[in-house]
């Protein structure tokens, strides 16, 4: 049997990491597996001894696990939501970005979704959620929305992947059985394309409200209590904005890394970074607007318990984190991205990393200070995460990197067929669309 791989493919750069993975891949998998195994051991220790191995205590009963839960789920909004919005708004420049973004969602969502379970005192009783669940509890809403989002976003990742898997199958890339199975008999007929388009359209319309619901509901975990600093009506949109913000930053970091590692300069051009970083800049401003509204209303209300939390963040124990968050999420990215001279790839990389760090700090600042300032006068210590919590955080990041490099080892991180489609049809479609925007020429006034 002869395979087409003899012929040079126009998008050979995208196929190279799959056809010739190289040794670095195995080294990285090895290193990451060691980290993950050690994390597994640390978690096992927590299971054995109880949550006492963490730094959580009375009254700060939620710590790193809940912070990372909110953070990872926030990052997951990068993908499917952004990709759906770009596809829906027919932004032609989306083509090389959507796949990368969707992969982030699928992997990070799986990691983030595990965090509440890691946080449980009795993970062995997790099934109580199903047979004793109370639908009135925001935690149950979360279980429902995260499951829905995970299902929708993995399907949304997989469906546009089918034609690419078929390309790999036709080129006889190993393991053949994998591509044979996953391509579902894709032949690229007109009918198949029609069905694919239909499925993608349905999914991208569905996925947007689901994604918005996910982070709204995560904010509800906090907002539905009466605790100072949490009981806020803007928490829903505030969290959604923060999630999209951190998500775009995560996509940008990943795009820059992949461009460097896989030499994708031909696909990820400066214009893609420029557009996405302007989106990042806008999100930074919206984020600041929400943060400003949230704290200003708290300050003017001047409710004593609210003010204790407020000053704890602004001038108390959490002031270094709070002001670092303002710098990372607002001052630094805005300063870098406002100026075209600094809006270069290194500049964007710095701004994006700063936003990812800043958004993690934001989650820290939302979760801990409200718990650390109970209404009644209790002795309160400072929450210091232990080795266990740090390790589970690092382990989570390691699982993300491992998941991503395994995906990139077997599947193209840039959608080949969508790029091809873009090459052939985009120009025509866009011209037609622009013509349709234009005012019709006036009917020739022959009679006048």
Q: Kindly list the residues in this chain that would bind another protein in the complex (CB under 8 A).
A: 49-52, 56-62, 116, 119-123, 125-126, 128-129, 132-134, 136-140, 143, 221, 224-227, 371, 374-378, 380-381
Token duo for residue 131: 């047979």
Residue 92 φ then ψ, to 5°: -65, -30
User: Could you give the CA distance from residue 404 to residue 427 in angstroms, rounded to a whole number?
Assistant: 32
Q: In angstroms, what is the minimal distance from the CB of 305 to another protein?
A: 9
Q: In angstroms, what is the minimal distance from the CB of 263 to another protein?
A: 46
Q: Nearer to another protein by C-beta: 128 or 263?
A: 128
Q: Nearer to another protein by C-beta: 71 or 220?
A: 220
Q: Nearer to another protein by C-beta: 61 or 151?
A: 61
Q: Nearer to another protein by C-beta: 221 or 256?
A: 221
User: Could you give the CA distance from residue 138 to residue 236 in angstroms, rounded to a whole number?
Assistant: 13
Beta strands in 293-447 (DSSP E): none
User: Could you give the CA distance from residue 287 to residue 127 in angstroms, rounded to a whole number?
Assistant: 37
Distance set, CA 431 to CA 197, 419, 435, 436, 437 (Å): 21, 18, 6, 9, 10
Distance set, CA 118 to CA 122, 126, 370, 396 (Å): 9, 11, 22, 11
Which residues, 6 or more positions from 102, have their beta carbon under 8 angstroms from its beta carbon?
79, 80, 83, 153, 156, 157, 160
Q: In angstroms, what is the minimal distance from the CB of 414 to another protein?
A: 40
Radius of gyration for the alpha carbons in the chain, expressed in angstroms and rounded: 24
Q: In angstroms, what is the minimal distance from the CB of 387 to another protein?
A: 15
Q: In angstroms, what is the minimal distance from the CB of 389 to another protein?
A: 13
Q: Nearer to another protein by C-beta: 129 or 334?
A: 129
Q: In angstroms, what is the minimal distance from the CB of 299 to another protein?
A: 20
Q: In angstroms, what is the minimal distance from the CB of 115 to another protein?
A: 11
Q: Nearer to another protein by C-beta: 230 or 267?
A: 230
Surface-to-core class of residue 415, CB atoms within 10 Å of its CB (0-12 exposed, 13-18 middle, 19+ buried)? buried
Q: Nearer to another protein by C-beta: 223 or 244?
A: 223
Q: In angstroms, what is the minimal distance from the CB of 41 to another protein?
A: 19
Q: In angstroms, what is the minimal distance from the CB of 70 to another protein?
A: 13
Tell me the angle at which helices 190-223 and 138-158 cross, rounded to the nearest 10 degrees.
Answer: 160
Q: Distance of alpha carbon 45 from its chain centroid, rounded?
A: 30
Q: Nearer to another protein by C-beta: 61 or 431?
A: 61
Distance set, CA 153 to CA 202, 216, 247 (Å): 12, 17, 15
**Listed residue (207, 234, 206, 205) closest to 222, CA to CA:** 234
Contact criterion met (CB below 8 Å) for 172 and 5: yes
User: Could you give the CA distance from residue 185 to residue 162 in angstroms, rounded to a whole number?
Assistant: 9
User: Could you give the CA distance from residue 176 to residue 412 in angstroms, rounded to a whole number?
Assistant: 15
């Amino acid at each position: 049997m002869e395979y087409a791989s003899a012929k040079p493919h126009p998008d050979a750069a995208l196929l190279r990491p799959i056809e010739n993975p190289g040794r670095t891949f195995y080294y990285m998998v090895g290193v990451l597996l060691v980290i993950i195994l050690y994390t597994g051991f640390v978690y096992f220790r927590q299971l054995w001894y109880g949550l006492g191995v963490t730094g959580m205590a009375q009254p700060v009963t939620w710590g790193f696990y809940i912070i990372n839960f909110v953070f990872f789920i926030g990052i997951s909004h990068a993908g499917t939501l952004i990709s759906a919005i770009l596809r829906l708004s027919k932004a032609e420049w989306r083509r090389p970005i959507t796949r990368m973004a969707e992969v982030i969602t699928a992997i990070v969502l799986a990691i983030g979704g595990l965090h509440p379970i890691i946080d449980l005192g009795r993970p062995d009783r997790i099934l109580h959620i199903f047979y004793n669940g109370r639908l009135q509890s925001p935690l149950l809403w979360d279980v429902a929305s995260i499951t829905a989002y995970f299902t929708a976003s993995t399907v949304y990742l997989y469906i546009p992947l089918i034609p690419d898997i078929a390309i790999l199958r036709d080129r006889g890339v190993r393991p053949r059985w994998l591509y044979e199975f996953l391509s579902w008999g894709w032949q690229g007929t007109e009918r198949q394309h029609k069905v694919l388009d239909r499925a993608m359209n349905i999914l991208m319309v569905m996925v947007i409200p689901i994604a918005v619901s996910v982070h709204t509901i995560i904010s509800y975990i906090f907002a539905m209590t009466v605790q100072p600093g949490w009981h806020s009506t803007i928490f829903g949109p505030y969290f959604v904005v923060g999630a999209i913000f951190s998500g775009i930053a995560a996509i940008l970091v990943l795009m820059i890394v992949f461009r460097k590692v896989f030499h994708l300069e031909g696909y990820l051009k400066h214009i893609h970074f420029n557009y996405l970083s302007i989106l990042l800049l806008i999100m930074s401003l919206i984020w600041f607007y929400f943060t400003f509204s949230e704290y200003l209303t708290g300050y003017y209300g001047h409710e004593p318990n609210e003010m204790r939390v407020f000053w704890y963040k602004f001038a108390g124990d959490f002031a270094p984190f709070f002001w670092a968050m303002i710098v990372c999420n607002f001052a630094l990215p805005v300063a870098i991205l406002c100026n075209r001279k600094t809006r270069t790839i290194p500049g964007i990389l710095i701004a994006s990393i700063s936003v990812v760090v800043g958004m993690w700090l934001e989650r820290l600042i939302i979760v801990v200070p409200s718990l650390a300032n109970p209404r009644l006068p209790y002795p309160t210590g400072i929450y210091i995460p232990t080795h266990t919590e740090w390790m589970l955080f690092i382990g989570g990041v390691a699982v993300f990197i491992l998941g991503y490099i395994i995906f990139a080892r077997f599947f193209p991180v840039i959608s080949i067929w969508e790029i091809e489609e873009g090459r052939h049809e985009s120009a025509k479609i866009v011209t037609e669309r622009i013509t349709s925007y234009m005012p019709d020429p006036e009917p020739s006034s022959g009679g006048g």
